[in-house]
Structure 1
Amino acid sequence: MSKKNGLKPLKLVSLFSGGGGLDLGLEAAGFETVFATDIDHHSCETLKKGKEKAAKLGKPFLSNAVIHEADILSLSSNLVMEKANLKPGETDLLAGGPPCQAFSVFGKRLGIKDPRGQLPQQYIRLLSELQPKSFVFENVFGLLTIHGGETFKELCEILSNPSNDLSYEISVHRLNASDYGVPQSRDRVFIIGTRIGKSLSNIPPLCFDEKKEDKDKTHLRKRTVGDAFKGLPPLGEKLANHYGREHSQRIIDRYESLIFGERDHKTRINRLDPNRPSYTIIVGSDKGGGKGHVHPHEPREVSPRESARIQTFPDWWDFSGTSRHPIRQIGNAVPPILAAVIGREIASNFFNHPKKPLKEIVDLLSQNHLFKEDISDV
């Protein structure tokens, strides 16, 4: 991202980058990814294709990023700094969400006994060696309560002091994406740390709940599935990842009988309500099983592209792979708009950068279909 207003670009190192949701949002807020990594080949291919497409569209995403496919267990901080041309302490933001299945309330909640539960330790290792000025650690909200809250307490203590000569002021934010302009109810926890000497006290919501009497009319209404799907072409046309599963007539009949919000007893997914935010995108296991919810107006599961719309990915962001690969990248991601709102708070509070207007973020992320009202002052 080019230097503007005499301000140096804020250098971002991205771990567990996946399909790029966190990177897209943070870059839209003014950060510049210099290094992004993931163990998954298809995720890295998605990032590489996205970098090329963004350049063709004149958008800044990943323009100066080194995209490195690697197992974080073998990723050295020296390699990161060499590839990104950084020294210890020069990274402005380290961001990532270690795979969260081990902590999820929907999984077995084995925590650190699950091999995936050990991946946060790798994040901490790189945090202590890179010594960034700030960090974002994202995970499922189930992390807050596993083992009676002891796991989370221990994690926060370590993140506050990852090594003897390094300490961070941390703040914990449990956020629902639907409060921040994302057409999806998605509950996640973000641990944000800084060694600049002040913590981030609040990330103000952008949207009000229309059913609450104390709603603030200066805020936006929550975005809906209808907003997300606005302007989409028919299934199978024009857009990448816009294809559907083949359903038997029996499944079609079941889906057709569902009312808005009703759950199918076999597939355990819900028919979406066009006038409400979507349910959380379902990822599935390593063996597959990831699927969209039932389309509000057609007796079928939503396409990966429709799920990407619900997550606020641009239509031009093409997810690599077939079958389960795109939906896993989409479902594991931080919604770019939510990431951008978090990013602009970090940029303004920690680095004294002007807070990026929502309209500029929406334009960069090609999400104009979501906002028809005036958002120039949000």
Structure 2
Amino acid sequence: MAAKKKSPPANKPKADQSAVLRRHAEEQYADELAALAAADERPKPPNWNLSPWAVKTYLLGGTLDDGTEITPKYVGNERLIEIAVATLATDRALLLYGVPGTAKSWVSEHLAAAISGDSTLLIQGTAGTDESALRYGWNYARLLAEGPSEAAMTESPMLRAMATGKICRVEELTRIPSEVQDTLITILSEKSLPVPELNTEVQATRGFNVIATANNRDRGVNELSSALMRRFNTVVLPTPDSLEDEVEIVRSRSEQLGRALELPAETPALEEVRRVVTVFRELRDGLTDDGKTKLKSPSGTLSPAEAISVVNSGTAMAAFYGDGVLNARDLASGITGAIVKDPVQDRVVWQEYLQTVVKERDGWGDFYRACREAL
């Protein structure tokens, strides 16, 4: 049994890509993927669009022999990306694990785009996710009228990935109920999906694999069984090692988002980005960058993703209510909101940090005053 592709209605208009708020990775970076494919002469695993070398280059960036610049999609440990790519060429699935905001979904999307040319085979894990999301469902009108048949089945992204030899992404795996998670065991070990209602099965085509993501803040919600964990190779994506790496991540993503949203403001000033990242890193680590002052940490994660959100929000404030140049006043409310999740505990932590660290830091007077006003 093979999964059948369903054609869109003839009168359905094709989305204007220039008007799409966020394009899929394979569309946004189509030129880079095409350049890599043209230059790629290395061996490719079955049904992969690119070789492992080219996938790594796509993720980490580089310059091709013809001068084409490949922009980095991930800034971090090169070895982690190599392990992730190599895992997907084997019979083991990949689990990207770490604190919220460490680019797990971002890396997952770009791996699928580079390998399969399709990052849209996605299952979003929630407490309400049932087996049909991982296996298949039914068109109950046809089921009642005709009985079980291929025509009455509704395909899940997993089933389509198996039938076409592509990567399926499962987001927030630990949010899915444990009994539903274990549906993956047969798929990952036997590489087949039984369909007992039709007395048949869907066998995975070569190239099929699964990338799942989970964050350690969800640990204990729906922990993975040992049987399921054995089917995954786990790669932990950490927060950036250095201040400069994190600044570059936040700067580049904020700039991309600003262009996509067409915000009428200048590119975020590097110094303001550095301030946001410095604050987040110090509060996250419980220690100032110079190692001299111990700090209390707030309840939030203060990840690079949240820093990007703060800078992007500040850029919008500067564009619509300022002079178009990002400054401390534009950032103050956003950074305060990101840090103060608990109105009692986190507020005390933030006030103490402003008073003991920011107030005494040279050149940060405007930032101190703006954040005090935002409180």
TM-score, with length taken from structure 1:
0.31
Bigger radius of gyration among the two: 2
When you count helix as a share of all residues, which structure comes out higher? Answer: 2
Q: Whose relative contact order is higher, 1 or 2, with alpha carbons under 8 Å and at least 6 apart?
A: 1
